[in-house]
Chain A
Amino acid sequence: MNLNVTTADWYAVAPLAIVAGTGLLVLLADLFARTHVNRYAAIVLAALGIAVAMADCAAAYGHDYAAFGGAFIVGGFGVVFQEIVLIAALGSVVLYGAIGNPDRVGGAIALMLWSASGAMLMSGAGSLMTIFLGIELLSLALYCLCGLADRPTARESAFKYLILSSVASGFMLYGMALLFGASGSVALTDLTNPALATNPLLWIGAGLFLVGISFKLSLVPFHAWSPDVYEGAPLPVTAFMSVATKAGTLAIFARFIYAALPSGVAERLLLPVWIVAAISMIAGNVGMLAQHDLKRLLAYSGIAQVGYILAALAGGTALGMRYAIFYLAAYTFMNLGAFAVAALLSDDGEQGSRLANYRGLAQKSPLAAAMMTFFLLALAGLPPTAGFLGKILILSTSVTTGYAWLGFALIAGTAISLYAYAKVIRAMYERNEHAHTHEAHPFVPLAWASAIVCVVIVIALTFYPLTPSNVLPLVR
């Protein structure tokens, strides 16, 4: 294959290069800045780099272009997912202003930026090779990040993630090999060939590929790793993982099912995925009920929330794609906001992740308690939040496309989830004079700002539902 690389191809990957390059700059700054400023130097540098990448990325919106012979595709779809990844990176990086060992913050932020560039690569991936490259780039950095705390659970988290994620990658790689065997090409475009519809290699390959995807999305029954990994990882890493991994993987999944399957295959091939999504909605929310740790709670919540997003994609309609993206964006801000509040309460470690520390919080720090309540209610889908509107939009899609049973699963899951979220709220508003509540950190400006921005955006998205048009994934 003769690959003609033009300047436009390099421009297409410029946002990734900016993010990855910023990672190097952060490392350099960490080397030269003095100890007490290096934390903020790293954060400011990273935020600047992310802002530039966001602007550069946004400029490509609406200009569909297949770079590197279709291996990396920019345009509406990729841009939206890349922006979500960048928002996740920004929202997680600022949390390092509140927590983390100052010696390691620079390195952690650099790794996070590289991981983000992997997720951005996934968002635009147009061939099996770039998909795998993106996933590995994302995951390798995350393995290190998970282990970057002194607690033994962090090492357990990193090791567990490494082993299980590698197994899933193995499944996926094998599936890709079979897909390659079927079509004779790594380009997703070539999978749409109608002649492949009856090829068993395609069916088996796509099945294995989807198993790998389900693992990365932590759908039930491939979910067991996520609560453990989330619990052990440092708070900003969990925040990043809970959004960026899901966004990147959803981008791959959506592109695969919308644009890379021969016609007529999707409905039968994907039915197990929708069943798994419905089970995830129920099981994820049931799993939340027994948790005593915010990160584990949000891990289970994330399992269910991904189920909701998949319900929007089930019909394979253009509107469904828009609503899935809307809900993903809403979920991004709700989750980042919840983690920002948790960071506010963790001045020297992980106090914000233990739910016992939320008991009686409303007396100590009413604003923090109010914001956490807001984010939890938003995740539960109560008004006036984007979670409410997102659920309405998903419900209407599933009713329209004939997947009403997914709508019922969503309703049932939401009812269960409400109890779990409200349990935390109740603990926060409990009036107990003798409670061992951790004093809220007096002033952590970045985390406060992040939480407040998230509140504003989650409310604003309700009243001004920004669902991007022109986001159908293209393969050519």
Chain B
Amino acid sequence: MLVLSLILVPIVAGLALLATRGENPAMSRTVGALVAAYTLVVGVAGHGSEWSYRWLSRPFVASFHVGDTAISYWLVLLLAICTFCAVLATNVPRTRQFVAQLLLLEGAMLGLFLARDLLLFALFWDLMLLPVFFVLLGWGEHVATAWRYFIYNFAGGLLLLLATAAFGVLFGSTDVIGRADVHIAGAWVPWIFWGFALAFLVKTPVWPLHTWMPLTYSDTPSPMVAVVSAVQSKGGLYGMIAIVMAFMPNEFKAYAGIFIVLGVISLLYGAFTALVQNDAKRVVAYSSLSHLGLIVVALASFNATALQGAVIYMVAHGLFSAALFLILGYVESREETRSLVRLGGLGTANPRLAGALCIAALAALGLPGLAGFVGELVILTGIFQAGLIWAAILALIPIVLASAYMLRLFQGIMNGPEVPDLPVRRDLSWREGLALVPLVLALVVLGVNPHPLTTFDPGAYNAVASTLQGGTR
């Protein structure tokens, strides 16, 4: 029941916030932060516990089966931390409704990571699109962005649904996530595989399915996009590991080349595009495309080291991209623009803000000592071990480029001439600062000691492990 409350508490709190009247931003933020803190505490306390209730017996067995797996445990904690920080950083009109949407998003995504049943996974997959859609409608800059986000991701969700139904019929049960004894075979499997894989690739996203992403990331208010970029994108990657790799390893292996090529293209395309973007949020959006491309390559390389690196990097990317988006939100609220051409000179009057952006940017470009570096290093080692030398070499290019676009971002905002005609700007308030502390702290701690992230129990991913025992390709 404890683990069930992890999903229900944010959703109930979000709905309750929506139902109340009156506007009291401090109150809404407090409620939101308390709920997020609760999910963090319970996420740790409820590690390993499960809750299950039979949903369907026919045409296949399905259950409301929730409980974390060794990998999703970290994503649950990441989500709780990011939501906590995003709620604290919220500074938008209609705060109460915005915080409510953040909590609904958290509840739906906790459901996604905790789901041990494919049908439940598909349910939360669709559910987690709605808060973002509503925020884009209510707070976004262009309505077209909301459409593009919704249509792309819902189309992916429908494929997921079809694949889930087919999987259920074929295997007789969808209560499978985290189970090691699941093998499906038959003429249908490639279709099921592509149903799942396309849904996950859209969500991650991977070139050429990414076109919803830069728009969504730049139009959504920063606290929401911090959560979306940090955690929602990991939903796709988590699905790749827990569903595609675990249950359809042979198909994944057969098509691994496609994934590696798409991942490498995303890596390069994202990095080069980030280099020339004018909108600060789009720089980070395209850098995400690049970083997540690296994780896709890591997964497709079928190597135990690369898989460990992928998990480290998923968490690290979540932390630094959340921090970057929150900081860009602070910048935007002070300068009223995101254009790198107009921005500048913020650093002199705002040393604390400059320091925060500096740490986040350094983590993003992979400075040793911060978590991003460990992830990149372990992934590259793994890819190299797997014999994908050309991919490892190509993957080095964007890592170099990351230094360039991150420094360009930092300099564009903090150095140079100031934006004219603006009132005196305050440095980080304690609340804004507090929203960054957990993220920076976690980046440093995991950068020095990433060990906890790598010790996930191979028993929970036996299918993955047995595939990996095949060793190098």
Taking beta carbons and an 8 Å cutoff, which residues of A are in contact with B?
319, 366, 370, 377, 382-384, 388, 391-393, 395-397, 399-400, 407-408, 411, 414-415, 418-419, 422, 425-426, 429-431, 463, 465, 467
Contact = CB atoms under 8 A, between A and B. Distances in A.
A463 B55 contact: yes
B127 A411 contact: no
B161 A392 contact: yes
Given A319-B59, A419-B147, 13 more contacts: A382-B127, A393-B59, A395-B162, A395-B165, A396-B60, A396-B166, A400-B169, A411-B161, A415-B158, A418-B151, A419-B151, A422-B147, A425-B137
Contacts of B56: 465
A295 B146 CA distance: 26
Given A392-B119, A431-B138, A407 B162 contact: yes
A358 to B, nearest CB: 14
Contact of A384 (B18, B123, B154, B162): B123
Interface string B137-168: 11000010011001100110011011011101
Contacts of B388: none
B460 interface: no
Given A397-B59, A463-B55, A411 B158 contact: yes
Contact of A400 (B59, B138, B164): B59
Contacts of B60: 396
Contact of A396 (B59, B123, B126, B138): B59
- Contact-residue bracket for chain B: 35 or more
A383 to B, nearest CB: 4
20 contacts: A319-B59, A382-B126, A382-B127, A382-B130, A393-B59, A395-B165, A396-B165, A396-B169, A399-B165, A399-B166, A422-B133, A422-B147, A425-B137, A426-B137, A426-B143, A426-B146, A429-B137, A430-B137, A431-B138, A465-B56
Contacts of A426: 137, 143, 146
Given A319-B58, A383-B127, A426-B143, A407 B165 contact: yes
Contact of B155 (A377, A415, A429): A415
Nearest to B56: A465
**Majority secondary structure, A binding face:** helix
Interface string B295-317: 00000000000000000000000
B159 A411 contact: yes
B95 to A, nearest CB: 15
A228 B321 CA distance: 52
B353 to A, nearest CB: 31
Contacts of A425: 137
Contacts of A370: 18
B255 interface: no
A382 B18 CA distance: 20
Contacts of A407: 162, 165
B190 to A, nearest CB: 14
B150 A422 contact: yes
B134 interface: yes
Contacts of B122: 383, 392
A426 B135 CA distance: 11
Contacts of B64: 463
Contact of A388 (B58, B123, B130, B134): B123
Interface in B376-421: none
Nearest to B151: A419
Q: Which of B119, B134, B138, B165 has the most CB of A within 10 A?
A: B165
A395 B161 contact: yes
Q: Which of A388, A392, A393, A407 has the most CB of B within 10 A?
A: A392
A268 B472 CA distance: 52
A319 B59 CA distance: 8
Nearest to A423: B147
A377 B60 CA distance: 25
Contacts of B146: 426
B164 A392 contact: yes
Given A414-B158, A463-B55, A388 B138 contact: no
Q: Which of A366, A397, A426 has the most CB of B within 10 A?
A: A426
Nearest to A317: B59
A121 to B, nearest CB: 31
Contacts of A383: 122-124, 126-127
B55 to A, nearest CB: 7
A429 B162 contact: no
Contacts of A377: 130
A270 B55 CA distance: 33
Contacts of A465: 55-56
Contacts of A319: 58-59
B58 A399 contact: no
Nearest to A410: B162
Nearest to A397: B59
Contacts of A408: 162
A465 B123 CA distance: 15
A162 B135 CA distance: 47
A408 B163 CA distance: 11
Nearest to B158: A411
A142 to B, nearest CB: 35
Interface in B8-36: 18
Interface in B244-266: none
Interface in B36-89: 55-56, 58-60, 64
The 9 A-B pairs at the shortest CB distance, nearest first, are namely A395-B165, A383-B123, A396-B165, A396-B59, A411-B158, A429-B137, A399-B169, A396-B169, A399-B166
Contact of A418 (B150, B161, B164): B150
Contacts of A411: 158-159, 161-162
Q: Which of A396, A418, A425 has the most CB of B within 10 A?
A: A396
Nearest to B154: A418
A430 B137 CA distance: 7
Nearest to B195: A411
B100 to A, nearest CB: 12
A396 B166 CA distance: 6
B174 to A, nearest CB: 9
Q: Which of A383, A388, A408 has the most CB of B within 10 A?
A: A383
A377 B130 CA distance: 10
B135 to A, nearest CB: 10
A396 B130 CA distance: 25
Nearest to A467: B58
Nearest to A392: B165
Contacts of A418: 150-151, 154
Contacts of A395: 161-162, 165-166
Given A395-B162, A395-B165, A388 B150 contact: no
